[in-house]
Amino acid sequence: MSAHTTLTIATRRRAFTRLAPLLRARAGWIVLLVIAGLANAGAGLVGPWAIGRLVDELPAGAGEDLVWVCAIAVAVAGVVMSVGTWIGAWALAHIAMPVVAELRTQVVDSAMSLDSQRIEATGTGDLVSRVADDSRKISEAAAQVLPLVVESLLVVIVSAAGLAAIDWRLGIVGLVALPMYWLTLRWYLPRSEPIYKEERAAFGRRAGRLLGGLTGAQTLRAYRAEGGEMTRIDSASGEARDLSIHVFRFLTRAFGRNNRAEAVVLSLLLVAGFALVLLGETTAGAVTTAALVFHRLFNPIGALVGLFDQIQSAGASLTRMVGVIDEAETSPRRSTHTVSGAPSLVLENLWFSYDEDPDSDNHVLTGVSVRIAPGEVVAVVGTTGAGKSTLARIAAGLSAPSHGRAALVGDPGTGADLTGLDEAVLRDHISMVAQEVHTFSGTLRENIALPVPGASDAAIRSALETVGDDWVKTLPNGLDTDIGDGGTRLSAVQEQTIALARLVLADPDFAILDEATAEAGSAGAHVLEASAQAALDGRGALVVAHRLSQAEKADRILVMEHGRVIEEGPHAELVAAEGAYARLWEAWSG
């Protein structure tokens, strides 16, 4: 699978279509925002008007009354602008923050429903970047950029109208700015979107590298591979840095074009104004007012262009977030029907390759077949790289085989491929406990009840009692003890016991254990193996055995090598056969 495969990125049209109903629900606040913004922008014209009037009337003999009138008008305008700014910020907060929060909720909900195979293919970094980085980018844009954009846009509209009202000829001169600004945007827009999308994608790759390095820190230290991983992290970070510098350079070129338009048009406005005054067509005060009004446009227009990089970046983040929602909605709907009777887990002629080409010769599994009857425990043993964990993932429905079939087969005539079953239905039948267990921030009760959120205390305690609950009594608050990040620190055995208790509480037909006791160490191995055996009581299981003592207790053992099953049978029979398993057992028991 390509390292740069990512989740869907929505088009801009699709992204704003997704936003439209959220905005329509807040139409009243939008109207209030526009009214406040127009009042604010209109009050901003009072200052230039007052100065222009003073320029015209003071030389003609006007007294201090005019000065007082202009001063009071400016003071009132200041009050109006203050109130308008406050009301606008208040209205915008009621528009932007709920919309961003609802969008973030939709993205997280969609991310949780995405098919696990799709997440495996794209890597967790891309999804984490969208849920965390892109969500933060949009939140920042809503809180900091959007208010400035709305205010600047309304100031530009009202000021342009005011300039035309002062003198239509000066207004026509001011229109010269439009094609110059348009040329700047025409140069800027087609180049900016690809740059910002690539920048956000680079941030996603950097997040993936950092996440992989942090979560795999122990493995890197164990193999002294920190240097190589740091080189890869540095490469991803350098790519993101270089793209950010490129974006900044690109933005300064846009600013330069903008400043050139302002200088040209202001010069033309002053020259035209001088000519009109000379011909007696207008007054010096009108030209002064027009020049000040046009100068007043510099900051908002500059802000609009200056903020366009953040707008574009936020827009790119929005398309990535909406892409997660779209992918969840357009993913093939899985069947919600159940398998009747006591099903068997059938893995038939499985071939699997991690290459994009399904016909690749680089297979991890090669023609593996096994049928697990209800209540039967099958252990899988073999050397590292034999394909054991891949077989476990396919049996759990987390990966689809390149060829072959993984299915639940119930009463005659009923059955369903694992990849075709709805996730919730699949988990009713099959649960997986892996070597690495995650404990979430929360109470022990909440962590165990993860597969059955409404489980009673009695059911939770019963599940714990099945796998061993003596350690729970040592916790400060029992089931109410906070664990996970910032909570009470648990041992590897205790965390794995929580995972086994979740399995008991979920009560599936089959359990897939992928080296679920490997983290226990020698001291806790026997305790955890007893817990695992208790959790498997009465249900079928495929157990990737880290210790052959687990395989010894299984009903049947598969011995794998290079993606193939080379031996199969009960423990005693395989030992007597003096083959590959017998050699493994001799080395283990010795």
DSSP 223: T
For 332-364, the pLDDT digits (tens) are 656 556 676 778 899 999 998 876 555 556 788
pLDDT reported for residue 70: 86
Q: Show the tokens assigned to 113.
A: 């429903």
pLDDT reported for residue 2: 40
pLDDT reported for residue 414: 64
Instruction: Using DSSP, state whether 230 is helix, strand or coil.
Output: helix
Instruction: Using DSSP, state whether 14 is helix, strand or coil.
Output: helix
pLDDT reported for residue 305: 66
pLDDT reported for residue 534: 92
Task: Say how far apart CA 135 and CA 128 lie, in whole Å.
Answer: 10
Whole-prediction pTM: 0.61
Q: Which residues of the chain have pLDDT under 70?
A: 1-5, 115-124, 302, 305-306, 308-309, 331-338, 340, 355-361, 411-414, 516-524, 590
**Cβ contacts of 343 within 8 Å, gap of 6 or more:** 374, 408, 409, 410, 415, 429, 509
Q: What is the DSSP string of 166-209?
A: H-HHHHHHHTTHHHHHHHHHHHHHHHHHHHHHHHHHHHHHHHHH
pLDDT reported for residue 391: 92
pLDDT reported for residue 371: 93
For 260-302, the pLDDT digits (tens) are 877 888 888 888 888 888 888 888 888 888 888 877 777 777 6
Residue ranges of the alpha helices (H) in 468-536? 492-506, 521-535
